[in-house]
Structure 1
Amino acid sequence: MAPDFSAKGQDGKTYKLSEFKGKTVVLEWYNEGCPYVIKH
């Protein structure tokens, strides 16, 4: 179980992890400044 936190989605909206309670959630972080990430 993860602690509750908020993050901004690609659509610009802010989401709280607790909003998805009972659902499967996959989180992916990336760095737009990383050349490897940009390439893939």
Structure 2
Amino acid sequence: MAIGMEIVRLNLADIIHQPLLAKQLYLLYTGIHKVAWK
């Protein structure tokens, strides 16, 4: 999990410059959590 977070930090700058990609990742992230909580 920690490795995944490091990857997110490294790519955060690139993601900020790609709003559409950031939105897709956000929707994917929240979608996974919604499924996990069911």
TM-score, with length taken from structure 2: 0.28
Higher-Rg member (1/2): 1
Higher relative contact order (CA 8 A, sep 6+): 1
TM-score, with length taken from structure 1: 0.28
